[in-house]
Chain A
Amino acid sequence: MQHLANVTELKARLEAPAIEVEGLSHVYAGPDGGVKALLDIRLAVGKGRFVVIVGPSGCGKTSLLMMLAGLLQPSQGTISCLGRPMPKPDPQRVGVIFQEASLFPWLTTLDNIEFPLSLRGMPREERRRRSAAMLGLVGLEGFGERYPHELSGGMKQRVSIARGLVQDPPLLLMDEPFAALDEQTRMTMGHELLRIWSTTEKTVVFITHSLTEAVYLADEVLVMSARPGRIIDHIQVTLPRPRSYEMMATEVFGQLRERIWQQIRRAP
């Protein structure tokens, strides 16, 4: 809305990728020169794309995500989210959803969703209106006054997604958000996420261990190698949208899944 002031700039932003990473490497300090976590990462994520990153454990996926979120500064290279670097977290540009729902147990569902808004000092009424809307979006009407320990794992992740969306950031980073859930809940949540995503037109970077989840959710899958993490494959998922559970049985789905698996297995 505030971008309307400058139409040419708006146009340029629409065409520029949402995320641009150039020559990014990261070394964790330590003895013997430290641990090389990431090596020469280069990537561009288009606006509104759903990009999934897969790779073996410890390959630096999470580090990469933390850097995109401004929570960690790379040793080398540049990151630009929506045309600007990320020297520190900027919740109005980038929302982060973690593996553990990491809801604050001393706050109710609504208070948890509003937390980022209250940090900014938004008036309570406005906060309530927004958080209630988010609660509806993730399908948790009626659970606003519950505490996290009264919710199931899937419900907690829904709250966490609502909290990530409440500031309406154009970019959403998700670090294995459904890893702690059982298989059925996980598939349902993935489906839910696609529904929410299709109504919000956000750019999503999603990390997972599950190849099925990767193919099911993604427009593009980035495959990373073992440490030090490099991007070794970039796969376009051509399955039509909206995705349905039946697609998992198709040949295309199987081939894509197989290709990712081969890449991960071959990675040194």
Chain B
Amino acid sequence: MSRPAPATVRWMLLAVLLVLWEVVPMTGLLPELFLPACSKTLSVLYGDRHIYGAALLVTLYEVACSMLIACGLGILAGALVGGTALLRDLLLPVFSSLYAVPIVILYPIFTAWFGVGSSSKIAFAGIYGFFPVMLSTAAGIRTIDPQFLLAARSMGATLSQQITRVIIPASVPTVFAGLRLGGALTIIGVVVSEMLTASAGIGYLVTLNRTILDSPRVFAGILAILVLSIAYYMLARALESRMVVWQSAGRQQQSSAGVSTAAVPAPAAA
């Protein structure tokens, strides 16, 4: 008997999980408060689709804005810090250690400054996602093989040509790994801040329904975020593999497994 492909096994596992989600609550092994059935959760989600749709739009808007901040500022700061020796020596240790701080502790300050609306979520999640983007951009620039630059110089490349033709393309894979992680962190940042203090968004709905012990609606919110995160991840991977064709062999396994999970500490807020 030949072994089935890993993808097939993954889909089968998902199917089994969904079936269990449906069957286990029906048998009465777990009360609905602990685990509402899959069908119940979906029907609640469908019945409240306007509420959840509106909340998802708020969350998406906040995620999009904070990703823009995290990626834009992150790449800019990372390029500056990675590219100039002075800033690198001065700031990189600071940024690296700041990364370990559970930034969520600062969220109350953000609400004081920006109010309970979207701005405080955007600011918080933006900063939350900023660090991995900035650090990997700096690392991407710092770890460029000096041989590449030497070769480019020997071929007559000017400084601006060295930047555009060597430094930028060479750091794309590392920067992308940081963007993927930073983007995921902004989603976490937005949801967490919505759960803490908010008046809208999926995170807010989850907290609201938890306090009134409405489990199906809590699960509906969780499901929405789950789908959002997976969709984001798949989009990011697709974009990445299109941008970094040359990396498809050998190094990809390292970058996808290593940078996204192992090399970076678990998000402090989660």
Q: Which residues of B contact A106 (CB under 8 A)?
A: 169-170, 172, 244, 246
| Min CB–CB distance A174 → chain B (angstroms) | 12
Q: Scoring A residues 78 to 116 as 1 if CB is less than 8 Å from chain B, else 0, what string do you get?
A: 000000000001111011101010101111000000011
Q: Scoring B residues 223 to 258 as 1 if CB is less than 8 Å from chain A, else 0, what string do you get?
A: 000000000000000000000111101110000000
**CB-contacts of B125-176 with A (<8 A):** 145, 147-148, 150-157, 161, 165-166, 169-170, 172
A100: nearest residue on chain B (CB-CB)?
A: B147
Q: Which residues of B contact A119 (CB under 8 A)?
A: 155-157, 161, 165
Interface pair B154/A105, CB less than 8 Å apart: no
| Min CB–CB distance A134 → chain B (angstroms) | 14
Contact of A104 among B150, B166, B244 (CB under 8 A): B166
Most-contacted residue by chain A among B150, B165, B172 (CB, 10 A): B150
Chain A residues bordering chain B, tally (CB within 8 A): 26
| Min CB–CB distance A135 → chain B (angstroms) | 17
Interface pair B153/A149, CB less than 8 Å apart: no
Determine the distance from Cα of A150 to Cα of B250 in the docked complex, in whole angstroms.
Answer: 10
Q: Scoring B residues 175 to 188 as 1 if CB is less than 8 Å from chain A, else 0, what string do you get?
A: 00000000000000
Determine the distance from Cα of A71 to Cα of B150 in the docked complex, in whole angstroms.
Answer: 8
Interface pair B156/A102, CB less than 8 Å apart: no
A interface, over-half SS: loop
| Min CB–CB distance A265 → chain B (angstroms) | 31
**Does A143 sit at the interface, judged by CB under 8 A?**
no
Whether A102 contacts B172 in the complex (CB less than 8 A), given A119-B157, A119-B165, A120-B156, comes out as no
Q: Which residues of B contact A150 (CB under 8 A)?
A: 249
Chain B residues bordering chain A, tally (CB within 8 A): 24
**Does A261 sit at the interface, judged by CB under 8 A?**
no
| Min CB–CB distance B121 → chain A (angstroms) | 37
| Min CB–CB distance B65 → chain A (angstroms) | 31
Whether A102 contacts B147 in the complex (CB less than 8 A), given A69-B154, A71-B154, A89-B155, comes out as yes
Determine the distance from Cα of A91 to Cα of B155 in the docked complex, in whole angstroms.
Answer: 5
| Min CB–CB distance A92 → chain B (angstroms) | 8
Q: Which residues of A contact B246 (CB under 8 A)?
A: 105-107, 147-149
Whether A89 contacts B151 in the complex (CB less than 8 A), given A102-B145, A119-B161, comes out as no
| Min CB–CB distance B241 → chain A (angstroms) | 14
| Min CB–CB distance B154 → chain A (angstroms) | 4
B245: nearest residue on chain A (CB-CB)?
A: A147
Interface pair A98/B157, CB less than 8 Å apart: no
**CB-contacts of A143-186 with B (<8 A):** 147-150, 163, 167
**Chain A residues proximal to chain B, CB less than 8 Å:** 69, 71, 89-92, 94-96, 98, 100, 102, 104-107, 115-116, 119-120, 147-150, 163, 167
11 chain-A/chain-B pairs, Cβ below 8 angstroms = A71-B154, A89-B153, A100-B145, A102-B147, A105-B247, A106-B169, A106-B244, A107-B246, A115-B165, A119-B165, A147-B249
**Chain B residues proximal to chain A, CB less than 8 Å:** 145, 147-148, 150-157, 161, 165-166, 169-170, 172, 244-247, 249-251
The 9 closest A-B pairs by CB, nearest first: A116-B155, A96-B154, A102-B151, A91-B156, A102-B147, A106-B246, A106-B169, A147-B246, A91-B155
